[in-house]
Amino acid sequence: MYESCARIYEIQSGKSQAKFKKGKSGDQIEDLSLTENFSINGDDFANAGAVSTEIKAILKKIGLDHQIIRRVAISTYEAEMNVVMHAKHAQVTLRLTPDSIQIVVDDVGKGIADIDLALQEGYTTATDEMRAMGFGSGMGLPNIKRNTDDLQIESEVGKGTRLTLNFVINS
| 3-class DSSP assignment, residue 31 | strand
Per-residue pLDDT of the chain (171 residues; tens, 9 = 90+): 333 223 344 555 555 555 555 555 555 555 667 889 999 999 999 999 999 999 999 888 888 899 999 999 999 999 999 999 999 999 999 998 888 999 999 999 999 999 999 999 999 989 998 888 888 889 999 999 999 999 999 999 999 999 999 999 865
Q: Report whether 57 contacts 35 (CB < 8 A).
A: no
Q: What is the DSSP string of 89-125?
A: EEEEEEEE-SSEEEEEEEEEES--S-HHHHTSTT---
Beta bridge partner(s), residue 93: 37, 104
Q: Report whether 55 contacts 34 (CB < 8 A).
A: no
